[in-house]
Amino acid sequence: MRKINRILAAFALAAMILPLAAGCRSNGAKNAPAKAVAKTKAGNPADNRYEMPEVPAMVGDNQEALDYITTHYWDKFFSEDRPGVQDTSLVRGFSQQAFEEIFYQFALFLRGASVAKGLDACRTMLDKAEKAQLDAPDGTLWGNVTDMYYHILQDPNSPWRNEEFCIPLLEKRISSSLSTDSERQRAERDLPRFCLNRLGEKANDFSFTLRNGRTKSVYGIDAEYTILFFSNPGCPNCREVMESLQQFPGIDGLIEAKRLAVANIYPDEDLGEWIKYSEIYPKNWLNGYDHLLAVNNTPLYNLRAIPSVYLLDKEKRVLLKDVPTDFLMQYLSNLFQVQ
């Protein structure tokens, strides 16, 4: 057996980068701080330590190892052999703070796991939490798990938000007898929107008007990769995303060589404000507005908050969906082999 230290090393940077503040994103939730890696020794109840999975020696590359860790991440958490699992003042023997850090660590592994393995891991975890709650109806496990799931993965202000992995929670909200009527109705309303533009699928096409009056479609963008950057004029977080992209090493050369395009789209209707503000946008970006308001009104994209950033490949398949800026920068660095 080998421990996970070398696997974690590849993701240590992601855990250490401080995400952007809430800024223009939707109201009502605090930005959660990036958390340190959970300790790897098994401990007593509420001592903030969690026993992580060890990867078998037969597992070959890092992707397989990350998938293995993600798949087996919650095994020890739901084991009945752990001390304190019946203590209803704790979360399966862990303090609330320790449980939060355990969940942040899971969100970190989800960033590196394959989509199929990540979805399976989320569904398995929710199934086990549901069963444990039904077996002990006086406990609070279900509420703790689903509240933390929302707080970290679904809240539009979370630096670990991940719409793809919110789908299992919405599905479970619809099917579980533990859901309230309002939770079920909300999930039934939200699920179709979260299923728009799923990872690996082709993004929805739409046309937008450039500042010079010409129209362009997403599918008409000729580039190896396309960043769809939905922004608003005067939005501080949008400005920070723009500056981060401008500072990405070699971005002008990538755009000139058609390896990368940045489509900076204003999805709302106050065109006067956009025209005044758009002077500051980089001239080699495709800066435009949704003249039909199709993105918001159809809907074609699930814009829960602004800014919202997607990354598409040459065939306009979705590689990243509404990702925090630090994750986008890390992904681009790996993609274009930038140190």
Residue 34 has pLDDT above 90, yes or no: no
How high is the pLDDT of residue 81? Answer: 82
**Residue at which a domain ends, from 161, 194, 227:** 194
Q: In sequence order, what are the beta bridge partners of 94?
A: 91
Q: Are residues 130 and 9 in the same domain?
A: yes
How high is the pLDDT of residue 299? Answer: 85
Instruction: Say if 155 falls within a structural domain.
Output: yes
Instruction: Say if 280 falls within a structural domain.
Output: yes
Instruction: Say if 201 falls within a structural domain.
Output: no
Q: Are residues 136 and 284 in the same domain?
A: no
First and final C-alpha spacing in the chain: 31
Predicted TM-score (pTM) of this structure: 0.86
**Given the structure tokens 């599905």, which residue do they identify?**
171
How high is the pLDDT of residue 24? Answer: 60
Q: Are residues 188 and 225 in the same domain?
A: no
Count of domains for the chain: 2
Q: Are residues 182 and 264 in the same domain?
A: no
**Residue at which a domain ends, from 194, 227, 251:** 194
Q: Are residues 179 and 228 in the same domain?
A: no
Angle at CA of residue 197, ends 269 and 255, nearest 5°: 75
Residue 15 has pLDDT above 80, yes or no: no
Q: Are residues 108 and 21 in the same domain?
A: yes
Mean pLDDT of the residues in the chain: 87
Instruction: Say if 22 falls within a structural domain.
Output: yes
Mean pLDDT confidence for 72-99? 88
Mean pLDDT confidence for 176-197? 98
Under the banding of pLDDT at 50, 70 and 90, the label for residue 338 is confident
Q: Are residues 243 and 163 in the same domain?
A: no
How high is the pLDDT of residue 266? Answer: 97
Instruction: Say if 188 falls within a structural domain.
Output: yes
Mean pLDDT confidence for 220-234? 97
Under the banding of pLDDT at 50, 70 and 90, the label for residue 61 is confident
Q: Between residues 318 and 84, which one has the greater pLDDT?
A: 318
**Residue at which a domain ends, from 159, 194, 229:** 194
Instruction: Say if 54 falls within a structural domain.
Output: yes
Q: Are residues 318 and 237 in the same domain?
A: yes
37-46, 94-103, 140-149, 275-284: least confident range = 37-46
Mean pLDDT confidence for 43-55? 71
How high is the pLDDT of residue 87? Answer: 82
CA distance 185 to 171: 11
Residue 50 has pLDDT above 90, yes or no: no
Residue 36 has pLDDT above 60, yes or no: no
Q: Are residues 28 and 145 in the same domain?
A: yes
Instruction: Say if 200 falls within a structural domain.
Output: no
Under the banding of pLDDT at 50, 70 and 90, the label for residue 27 is very low
Q: Between residues 92 and 9, which one has the greater pLDDT?
A: 92
Residue 233: give its domain's CATH number: 3.40.30.10
Q: Are residues 180 and 219 in the same domain?
A: no
Q: Are residues 184 and 45 in the same domain?
A: yes
Instruction: Say if 146 falls within a structural domain.
Output: yes
Domain housing 235: 207-335
Under the banding of pLDDT at 50, 70 and 90, the label for residue 51 is confident
How high is the pLDDT of residue 35? Answer: 38
pLDDT tens, position by position, 151-174: 999 999 999 999 999 999 999 999
Mean pLDDT confidence for 250-255? 97
Q: Are residues 11 and 118 in the same domain?
A: yes
1-15, 79-93, 193-207, 227-241: least confident range = 1-15
Q: What percentage of the chain exceeds 70 in pLDDT?
A: 86
Under the banding of pLDDT at 50, 70 and 90, the label for residue 89 is confident
